[in-house]
Amino acid sequence: MRIIEKLPEMQAAARDYQRRQVDLGLVPTMGALHDGHLSLVKRCRTENTITVMSLFVNPAQFMPGEDYDSYPRTWSQDLELAEAAGVDIVFHPSAEDMYLPRRQTTIQVHELTKYLCGISRGQGHFIGVTTVVAKLFNLVSPRRAYFGQKDAQQAVVIQRMVIDLNFPVEIVVCPIIREADGLAMSSRNRNLSPALRPRALALREGLVLGRDMLRQGETDANTLFNHMCEQILRDDAIEVDYLHIVSPETLQDVEKVDDLVLMAGAIRIDGVRLIDNILVGPDGPWED
Give the count of alpha carbons within 13 A of 116, CB side only. 28
- Selected range binding ligand AMP among 32-40, 62-70, 87-95, 201-209, rule: CB under 6 A: 32-40
| Residue 39 binds to ligand AMP (criterion: CB under 6 A) | yes
Of 227 and 268, which CB lies nearer to ligand AMP in the complex structure? 268
Number of residues that bind ligand AMP (CB under 6 A): 17
d(CA 203, CA 115): 18
Point out the catalytic residue in the list 37, 92, 125, 244: 37
- The alpha carbons of the chain give a radius of gyration, in whole angstroms, of 19
Residue 131, amino acid: T
Can you tell me which of 14, 81, 184, 228 binds ligand AMP, judged by CB under 6 A? 184
Give residue 240's Cα distance to chain centre.
Answer: 19
| Residue 148 binds to ligand AMP (criterion: CB under 6 A) | yes
Of 257 and 278, which CB lies nearer to ligand AMP in the complex structure? 278
Q: Which of residues 240-279 bind ligand AMP (CB under 6 A)?
A: none
Task: Please state the closest distance from residue 209 (CB atom) to ligand AMP, in A.
Answer: 20
The closest alpha carbon to 124, from 65, 64, 61, belongs to 61
Q: Are the C-beta atoms of residues 87 and 55 closer than 8 Å to each other?
A: no
Of 36 and 254, which CB lies nearer to ligand AMP in the complex structure? 36
Of 107 and 233, which CB lies nearer to ligand AMP in the complex structure? 107
Task: Please state the closest distance from residue 232 (CB atom) to ligand AMP, in A.
Answer: 19
Q: Are the C-beta atoms of residues 18 and 61 closer than 8 Å to each other?
A: no
Can you tell me which of 25, 36, 142, 210 binds ligand AMP, judged by CB under 6 A? 36
How are beta strands 261-269 and 238-246 bridged, if at all? antiparallel
- CA-angle at 88, arms to 29 and 35, nearest 5°: 45
Q: What is the dihedral of CA 140, 144, 146, 152, to 10 degrees?
A: 110
| Residue 211 binds to ligand AMP (criterion: CB under 6 A) | no
Going 171 to 38 to 3 to 189, the CA torsion angle's sign is positive
The number of beta carbons lying within 10 Å of the beta carbon of residue 43 is: 19
DSSP H helices, the chain, are 7-19, 35-47, 75-85, 95-98, 117-120, 123-140, 152-164, 202-215, 221-233
Can you tell me which of 43, 121, 140, 151 binds ligand AMP, judged by CB under 6 A? 151
| Residue 147 binds to ligand AMP (criterion: CB under 6 A) | yes
| Residue 187 binds to ligand AMP (criterion: CB under 6 A) | yes
Which residues share a beta bridge with 166? none
Query: Is residue 125 among the annotated active site residues?
Result: no
Of 147 and 167, which CB lies nearer to ligand AMP in the complex structure? 147
Can you tell me which of 48, 54, 130, 186 binds ligand AMP, judged by CB under 6 A? 186
Q: Which residues are catalytic?
A: 37
Kindly list the residues in this chain that would bind ligand AMP in the complex (CB under 6 A): 29-30, 36-37, 39-40, 147-148, 150-151, 174, 176-177, 184-187
